[in-house]
Chains A and B, each alone.
Chain A
Amino acid sequence: MKILYFAWLKTKAGIAAEEVTPPESVTDVASLIAWLKTRSAGHAAALADLSVVRIAVNQEFARPGDPVRPGDEVALFPPMTGG
């Protein structure tokens, strides 16, 4: 599974992209994020306040209950500020 971090999540996590193999207990977005938080202090800091984190699975916006599978591309980023 590929995880991408953008904007300040990238700065806090200290990484822009990583290839991960979560345990089998990780089946949805919520359990994936809970697991990612345990990877480092930087990950925990980046994902501390989920009210300012947006999630996309395979480039579509996703919610905590949406499924994740091996091979998915999961992106974590703050609310958008384009335009």
Chain B
Amino acid sequence: MIRVQQEDFDPAAEVERLVAGNHAIGGVVTFIGLVRDLADGRGFHAMTLEHYPGMTEKMLGDIEAEANRRWPLAASLIVHRYGRLAPGDRIVLVAVASAHRQAAFEACAFLVDWLKTRAPFWKLEETDTGAHWVAARASDDAAAERWTVTGAKAAE
């Protein structure tokens, strides 16, 4: 399941709903992304997450389907926020449930790495020196890239 929304989410309530009634689930792995000070001491006040409505939902759905193809998952959820967010605010929730922990850990890491480089979101940070679009990081591409090898291995 995927959701794109402006409002905050309650991670505990989301996980509870995700696993409710499914006793084949042995473990749930969650990732919660938070707004952190990106500005290296330049006075970070807030940021605005822009996205491409329509394509965002499509890409998140594709990424979730790919995780379900590679690992035996009982349930999965991606909630991604957009709009203006302050330091400490929650941005994204990824929750993955499976019978065994290894699939859940791996699928959760895969989902986070892939959504960073494939979901159409862009961060505009507000600092003392004005508003700046955050540049993509080569390390994020590298993190997503490693799944083209290990993800395939895991699916064997």
Contact = CB atoms under 8 A, between A and B. Distances in A.
A23 interface: no
Given A4-B52, A6-B50, A7-B122, A81 B112 contact: no
A62 to B, nearest CB: 12
A49 to B, nearest CB: 12
B45 interface: no
B107 to A, nearest CB: 16
A67 interface: no
Contacts of B146: none
A75 B54 CA distance: 12
A25 B16 CA distance: 56
B120 A6 contact: yes
Contacts of B117: 79-80
Contacts of A56: 52, 55, 120
Contact of B50 (A7, A75, A79, A83): A7
Contact of A7 (B80, B119, B124): B124
A4 B50 CA distance: 13
Interface of A: 4, 6-8, 11, 56, 59, 75, 77-83
